[in-house]
Every structure is written in C-alpha cells, then in structure tokens.
Amino acid sequence: MTLASLEHCSRTQNLPIAGPICNSIGMSYIGLGILGFLVIHLFDIVALKRLPLAKPATWALGSALLIYATVMVCLSGDRLPLPSWSTWLGWLLLLVSLFLFLYSLFINLPLGKTYIASGIGDKLITSRLYALVRHPGVFWFMVLMLSLILVSRSSLLLIAAPVWILLDVLLVAIQDRFLLGRMFPGYDDYRRQTPMLWPNRKSLNAFINQLRGVGAK
C-alpha cells in the first residue's frame, strides 16, 4: 500500500465501505509484523543447524518485515488526541530507546559471530546491558513502541504494539527455556543469576559494579 493510498484512506474513512477496507489493510500490517517476529525467531534454530548464509538472510528478512510493518502502522489509523508535550517526550524516549536497542543487539553482542558467521557464537555475553537482564533487546523494544505511539499518535499502533510485545516476550521465553541452554555452556547459571526482562537489585548492582570497573581502568 502506498502513501497515497494511506492518505486516501484517511480522507474517506467515514464512507460506509472505506472504513472496513482501511481497517483490514491496517490489520494486515499487524499480521506482517507478526510474520517478521516469527522469521526473526527462527534465527536461533538456523544457528543450531549451521546452515550457510541462513543466519544473515533470516535476520535481514525478519527485520525488514518488522520495520516495514512498523512504519506503515505508524502512518495508518486515526491520530490519538494526545497533548503536545507527549510528542516531545516521545522523541526523547525514541532517541534513548533506539540507541540502547541497537546497542544491545549489535554492539554489546559481537556482530560478526552473532549475525553473520554460520553456527552459534563461541561465548555467552553477560556484560554491560546483559548484566541487567538476559534479554535487554526486548525491554528496549517495549520502550521503543511506547515512544512511537507518542510520536506518531497512531491508534493502530496502540493495537499493534501490545500484540507484537506479547509475541516477542512469548517467543523469547521459549528461546530462553529450550534453545539458549543448548547453545551456550553456563546459560543455566546465568538464568539463575540474572532476571529475564526486568532488572532487580542484584542485577543493578552487578551492572553498576561493571561500570565502576570499566571507569577504574
């Protein structure tokens, strides 16, 4: 669907037939995002199978589907009647959450071994953001969705974001329970010591101590 089509939906959504058509198109974008998540979470299975070039292809395809779906959902639907200050708050949250989301996935983790080389990485990463929680990418994705709701004011994203977040949490829980222990020696100990999504006092102290250790060097 083009931007012109989205504008046409916005202008004609009060017509008897236009509303259902535009709503079905919006729901298709949510479905496309769900498909993107499912493809992304095939990544670990592909890594275990050691299929050449499958890792970067799976990650790129799933990410492209999710990014496209997110952009189109932000452009679709009615605008929420939010106060003007919420937009500025949204931009601030967007900058912070996007940076930390990308950092947790592509800097905190070794890029080549994680996403490009066949097979699984040779080391379990438990430092920096991974000292706070086992899946910092999921946490920052939640904040990122909130920021996009505030910035775009899309009523459709208000539906899509909880669906995508719940699916992401479910798939990560399955990954955490059945796959990561097979992929990384010591993961069971890491699971016992570090919370999955929400930092606790122990993980906050571990994170702060790491920062102090880096600063002292």
pLDDT above 50 for 8: no
Query: 102 or 3: which carries more pLDDT confidence?
Result: 102
Token pair, residue 84, equals 């003007």
122, two tokens: 């040779």
Total-model pTM: 0.86
Side chain identity at residue 84, one-letter code: S
Bridge partners (DSSP) of residue 79 are 154
Q: pLDDT, tens digit, for every residue of 139-177?
A: 999 999 999 999 999 999 999 999 999 999 999 999 999
Quick one: average pLDDT of 193-203? 95
Position 21 scores a pLDDT of 52
Better-predicted residue by pLDDT, 206 or 120: 206
Q: What is the pLDDT of residue 20?
A: 52
**Are 136 and 100 a contacting pair, CB within 8 Å?**
yes
Contact 78/155 with Cβ under 8 angstroms? yes
User: Which tens digits make up the pLDDT trace of 11-49?
Assistant: 444 433 344 556 788 899 999 999 999 999 888 888 888
- Return the percentage of the chain with pLDDT > 90, whole number: 66
What is the model's pLDDT at position 16?
A: 38
Per-residue model confidence (pLDDT) at position 2: 45
Listed residue (200, 127, 160) closest to 25, CA to CA: 160
Spatial neighbors of 45 by CB under 8 A, at least 6 apart, are 179
Taken in order of first residue, the domains within the chain and their CATH numbers are 3-216 (1.20.120.1630)
State the DSSP H helix or E strand holding residue 132, giving kind and residue range, or none if neither. Answer: helix 129-132
Nearest C-alpha neighbor of 165 from the set 196, 195, 136, 142: 142
Tens digit of each residue's pLDDT (9 = 90 or more) over 114-141: 888 877 776 899 999 999 999 999 999 9
